[in-house]
Structure 1
Amino acid sequence: MKHYDTLVIGAGHNGLVCASYLAKAGQSVLVLEANETVGGLAATREFHPGFSAPIAHTLVGLADTIVKDLDLESHGFKAAAQALPLTAVHPSDAPIQIDGSSVTGVGADDSATYQALQAQLRRFADALAPFWESTMPRIGSTSVADLFTFGKLGLKLRMLGRDDMLEFMRVATLPMRDLADESFDNERLKAALCWDGLLGSKLAPRSPNQAVLTVLNRMAGKHGGQHSIPPNGINGLMNALRTAAEANGAEVRTSTPVQKITVEGDENGQRISGVQLANGEEIKADKVVSSADPKTTLLGLLGAPQLEIDFSNRIRRLRTDGYVAKLHLALSGKPAFQGVANPEGRLLIAPTMDTIEFAYDNAKYGEVPEEAVMEVVIPTLSQNDLAPTGSHVLSAHVMYVPGKIKGGWTDAAKQSLTDQLIAQLEAHAPGIGELVEASELLTPEDLERDYHVSGGHWHHAEPAMDQLLMMRPTYEAAQYNTPIPGLYLCGAGSHPGGDINGNPGRNAAKEMLS
């Protein structure tokens, strides 16, 4: 039986990043993925014969450090030369477009204010950027290294200058609605600003939250918080990550679900010994690092009996309710959105902050939104291998769709919501209904089942103040290690959180190698 230095559970982007760094350092590494393909929630799936789409349809915040360290370009990854504009569409009004630090379709005052706000957020993001790629200190730690990290953060903020530092402290936990209301007049611009702070979370514009911190985290990547689609697609990045891991010496096995993490113990305590696969095979290793979410890892694969009750209760109480559904449409031609010459960017259907808020209110009570809010992308405009020639794919993130609804997610319930979403799209892109050859709706319940993510939550755990930084996912597990020696976490449930940025995987590897 081969013995490995480290087993990596899950071949999502964080698992592959972690495996690459460990293998590059000379460790023997085996990556175990339950599904047939790598990528996790960034995987590309065929939803109708000849038509495919990635679950996460854009990149935002991908760390340049990882691209360079792992030489991803030599393994086939190509970064997008330009970011995607965000266009807020409306059935009767001209669109509003946000492209970088500029915005068109609004008044001169809002345009100038937006540029000023983006410049200020950029200063904040630059100050925080090093800390997304660092292990957060333990609460109460007095070690020199941890005190240095805190001191460095304080110095970075102080170097912003008095006014900017005070403004950062004010807005960091401000509800997105407050930030938008105090800055702008145009309602659709306000909704668009909220969208990029709330996407993937169980929060609304009025929620007391950390959405500004989420925005600043996303601004640390290549395009400064803007989304992009690489020329060879999201699957191009996932394939490059796998190739890089294998080139560095890691083994990657797909269709290999892990049933449990095994533990051995003696008078000196417990320690990880490896894993047992669903087929009964046991694999031994000195360390196991999981890119699965904390609940799946610690309560499902390890098991609560192996943990202290206070710790297992904190993991059990993590908020992991997914609120994003994914709509895929196979189209026989390119849709035409009103007022949009070429729908190459992200198209936002969320006319006001109240529309977003009301959709959230519906979801809180186990109901689908009366008026859904969604972000639409046509990925086939930049990647023509996702559909037959002349055909297209529409990919939409639909916010505030609960994982559990009254009466359950029956086929009829899913079809009803699909029909509602297509009708809403028809109002913005007349004739799109006639182009639909097939559709797929993935609810959070589907994402949980198909991609083994508790609650179907994009970020594995809600990115709220009590589940961020040195509290992500909770204390005693916030530095990538856990109370069980030899067991580590490297997924989106770890600092700095979700999106396809790779920092949890990189940070975990650094911690394991230190």
Structure 2
Amino acid sequence: MSANNYDAIVIGAGHNGLVTAAYLAKAGIKTLVVEANDRPGGAAVTREFAPGFRTSAVAHLLHALHPRVIRDLGLEGHGLRATQHRVGTTALIPGGPRIDLTGDAAATAASIGKVSPADAEAYPRVMARLVRLSSALGDFLLRTPPSPLAGANDFQTKLALGMFALKLRMLGKKDMLELSRILTINVADLATDFFESDAIKGLLALEATLGVYLGPRSPNTVFNLLYRLSSFGKNGLGGFYLPTGGMGSVVDALVKAATAAGATIRTGAPVERLLIEKEIATGVVLKSGEEIRAPIVASSADPQRTLLHLVPPGNLDIEFSKRIRHLRMNGCVAKIHLALDGLPDALKSSGGRVVVAPGIDHVERAFDCAKYGRVSDKPALEIVIPTLSDPSLAPAGKQVLSILYQYAPYRLRATPPDQARAQVFERGLDLLEQAAPGTRRLVRAAETLTPHDLETQFGLSGGQWHQGEVTLDQVFFLRPAASFQRYRMPIPGLWLCGAGAHPGGNVSGAAGANAAREILKDVKARKTRAAA
């Protein structure tokens, strides 16, 4: 085999691409990973945004990395300390009360009780039930969605589907009925059913809409909440964590796991197009003109970038291309990084994660702006303080804030991207100053990333970090498209292994692991046929 021939090529060294490469290499497949940027990691990289100040570029909390992926790839042996620093959540209301949610049930109840005794009693009960319901859905994260054509499903897929149905049934009659009732409703109705305080309702509203182009009164938002909560049970880490070194430490462990297994990783190697010969994917052509051949090409880039840009025109069915073109990829979250001389008093005692979403109406009005192509006048914010658990991310005595700004739509009607970037910074800082007075005077440097920046810098079409919204019509056997939900794309030899495939976004590694499993099954089947 020549130096430019491999058994498999993985496009993109984001976390899912690295997971796929590690699994393939462990199975003896000669694997090459090609990454456009100058370092692996994609949106999970830790980088310097101001002299001496570092933070996670896009994804800034670890909660969904699947325990089986950690175990299978031996990530803890490669330096990952995923659950070393658990963070609590502080809900701040400008000029109003605060609620601190921690791992201490009594302290959490006491904090909520200062705002609403009824909510203090209801919160642990309601959240425990939601996590239980979400875990039943989460059991399918590391499964391959079945094909709608019964004959196309092998025994393992049918068995997995049967076990999934059995686990849903084992929820019991009451929980099954509750899951059926809430799955498609909006989170505003759900929150109002169980809670009375704006602080708790606003927190749930943000949890259910973060990263999707939906407001709290939009259908599907309870599903998105359950999807997020699925990592709080056995299918995730059980809570929010800030890994030492930022999210880049997850990437570092994955790089070590992949290279230890025998994979080769090339950075600064952007792919220009796929090699398609006789309607079969046979490799890639880099922008430098270099051709690299392999009978397996697995792309962790999003479906639109992979299928509409890397696949040469004329190789895909028109209806399939139309479906991919119409995937909802309208990113709506911006990112603000602040380098601070210190922390304002309101943030000093926080649990490490702060939410500013004063109520359902506040989040809904923020979404109203996005619906009409404008940056939210008063956004909802998720703020992470990584230096509370890892002071090495900033100079001594300094702090870093990593902020998600919901909503800043990719599709702007009348606002130029540069103006939108300035609006995100000023409006985000204004709201933070109201919630945590004194923040503005502590800012010494800042970076703002809009969805346009996420697309340009990280290759995320539409600035959509999930590589396609995670809603009921774009998940399970409909992700990325019906009949092509099993990671194998219409062109033989081409596979999808990123978040644009089942089960979707979050730093879970599940899509990469599932794709690797299906690729290895196909390799085994081809060897069996060849030997027959």
TM-score tier, shorter chain, comes to: over 0.9
Aligned counterparts, 1:377-396, within 5 A: 377-396=384-403
Partner in structure 1 of residue 368 of structure 2:
361
Partner in structure 2 of residue 196 of structure 1:
207
Cα offset, 1:223, TM superposition: 6.2
Greater shift, 165-174 or 438-447, is seen at 165-174
Q: Separation in 1 of the partners of 2:30 and 2:339?
A: 43
Note closer, same or farther for the CA distance 1:221–1:13 as it changes in structure 2 (3 Å cut): farther
Secondary structure at the counterpart of residue 247 of structure 2: helix
Which residue of 455, 465, 473 maps to 1:466? Answer: 473
Partner in structure 1 of residue 249 of structure 2:
236
Note closer, same or farther for the CA distance 1:233–1:413 as it changes in structure 2 (3 Å cut): closer
Q: Does 1:4 align with 2:11?
A: no
Cα offset, 1:73, TM superposition: 1.1
Note closer, same or farther for the CA distance 1:344–1:223 as it changes in structure 2 (3 Å cut): farther
Alpha-carbon contact 2:408-2:424 (below 8 Å) kept: no
Note closer, same or farther for the CA distance 1:470–1:416 as it changes in structure 2 (3 Å cut): closer
Aligned counterparts, 1:121-200, within 5 A: 121-142=130-151, 143=153, 144-200=155-211
Aligned counterparts, 1:304-323, within 5 A: 304-323=313-332
Q: Separation in 1 of the partners of 2:245 and 2:51?
A: 20
Partner in structure 1 of residue 267 of structure 2:
254
2:93 alignment partner AA: H
Q: Separation in 1 of the partners of 2:167 and 2:120?
A: 29
Q: Separation in 1 of the partners of 2:475 and 2:269?
A: 31
Greater shift, 187-196 or 21-30, is seen at 187-196
Which residue of 36, 43, 49 maps to 1:41? Answer: 43
Note closer, same or farther for the CA distance 1:159–1:221 as it changes in structure 2 (3 Å cut): closer
Greater shift, 48-57 or 137-146, is seen at 137-146
Q: Separation in 2 of the partners of 1:31 and 1:72?
A: 18
State, as a whole percentage, how many aligned pairs show the same letter: 44
Q: Separation in 2 of the partners of 1:486 and 1:156?
A: 34
Q: Does 1:295 align with 2:304?
A: yes
Partner in structure 2 of residue 96 of structure 1:
99
- Compute the RMSD of aligned alpha carbons: 1.7
1:91-144 deviation line (CA, Å, top 9, x unaligned): 322211223575532423212222111221232233333311110101132444
Partner in structure 2 of residue 52 of structure 1:
54
Q: Does 1:502 align with 2:504?
A: no
Note closer, same or farther for the CA distance 1:410–1:308 as it changes in structure 2 (3 Å cut): closer
Alpha-carbon contact 1:137-1:146 (below 8 Å) kept: yes
Which residue of 328, 335, 338 maps to 2:344? Answer: 335
Cα offset, 1:304, TM superposition: 4.3
Alpha-carbon contact 1:259-1:276 (below 8 Å) kept: yes
1:89 alignment partner AA: L
Alpha-carbon contact 2:46-2:245 (below 8 Å) kept: no
Partner in structure 1 of residue 526 of structure 2:
none
Secondary structure at the counterpart of residue 505 of structure 1: helix
Q: Does 1:87 align with 2:73?
A: no
Q: Separation in 1 of the partners of 2:59 and 2:225?
A: 21
Q: Separation in 2 of the partners of 1:200 and 1:217?
A: 16
1:176-200 deviation line (CA, Å, top 9, x unaligned): 1111111110111011112222211
2:170 alignment partner AA: M
Note closer, same or farther for the CA distance 1:440–1:221 as it changes in structure 2 (3 Å cut): farther
Alpha-carbon contact 1:60-1:221 (below 8 Å) kept: no
Which residue of 214, 234, 240 maps to 2:227? Answer: 214
Alpha-carbon contact 1:72-1:240 (below 8 Å) kept: yes
Alpha-carbon contact 2:36-2:268 (below 8 Å) kept: yes
Q: Separation in 1 of the partners of 2:76 and 2:137?
A: 27
Alpha-carbon contact 1:215-1:225 (below 8 Å) kept: no
Alpha-carbon contact 1:32-1:253 (below 8 Å) kept: yes
Q: Separation in 1 of the partners of 2:131 and 2:202?
A: 20
Alpha-carbon contact 1:51-1:393 (below 8 Å) kept: yes
1:322-341 deviation line (CA, Å, top 9, x unaligned): 0000001111223322xx55
Cα offset, 1:443, TM superposition: 0.3
Alpha-carbon contact 2:304-2:325 (below 8 Å) kept: yes
1:240 alignment partner AA: A
Note closer, same or farther for the CA distance 1:163–1:417 as it changes in structure 2 (3 Å cut): closer
Q: Separation in 2 of the partners of 1:131 and 1:412?
A: 42
Cα offset, 1:29, TM superposition: 0.3
Partner in structure 1 of residue 16 of structure 2:
14
Secondary structure at the counterpart of residue 345 of structure 2: coil
Cα offset, 1:152, TM superposition: 1.7
Partner in structure 1 of residue 352 of structure 2:
345
1:67 alignment partner AA: I
Secondary structure at the counterpart of residue 132 of structure 1: coil
| Structure 1: gaps (5+ residues) | none
Secondary structure at the counterpart of residue 131 of structure 1: coil
Note closer, same or farther for the CA distance 1:207–1:9 as it changes in structure 2 (3 Å cut): same
Q: Give the TM-score normalised by the residue count of structure 2.
A: 0.92
Cα offset, 1:159, TM superposition: 1.1
Partner in structure 1 of residue 441 of structure 2:
434
Cα offset, 1:412, TM superposition: 4.2
1:291-328 deviation line (CA, Å, top 9, x unaligned): 10000000010134210111111000100000000001
1:199-228 deviation line (CA, Å, top 9, x unaligned): 111111111113244134333467665321
Alpha-carbon contact 1:47-1:328 (below 8 Å) kept: yes
1:128-185 deviation line (CA, Å, top 9, x unaligned): 3331111010113244444333322221111111111111111122211111111110
Q: Separation in 2 of the partners of 1:299 and 1:456?
A: 16
Secondary structure at the counterpart of residue 272 of structure 1: strand
1:375-434 deviation line (CA, Å, top 9, x unaligned): 111111112222211111111000110113244435344224312222221112222211
Q: Separation in 1 of the partners of 2:464 and 2:293?
A: 30
Q: Separation in 2 of the partners of 1:221 and 1:259?
A: 40
1:153 alignment partner AA: F
Cα offset, 1:495, TM superposition: 0.7
1:41-61 deviation line (CA, Å, top 9, x unaligned): 111222212222112111121
Note closer, same or farther for the CA distance 1:417–1:129 as it changes in structure 2 (3 Å cut): closer
Q: Separation in 2 of the partners of 1:224 and 1:159?
A: 23
Note closer, same or farther for the CA distance 1:396–1:283 as it changes in structure 2 (3 Å cut): same
1:9 alignment partner AA: I
Greater shift, 346-355 or 222-231, is seen at 222-231
Note closer, same or farther for the CA distance 1:479–1:487 as it changes in structure 2 (3 Å cut): same
Which residue of 76, 79, 82 maps to 1:76? Answer: 79
Alpha-carbon contact 2:89-2:100 (below 8 Å) kept: yes
| Structure 2: gaps (5+ residues) | 522-532
2:262 alignment partner AA: G
Alpha-carbon contact 1:134-1:507 (below 8 Å) kept: yes
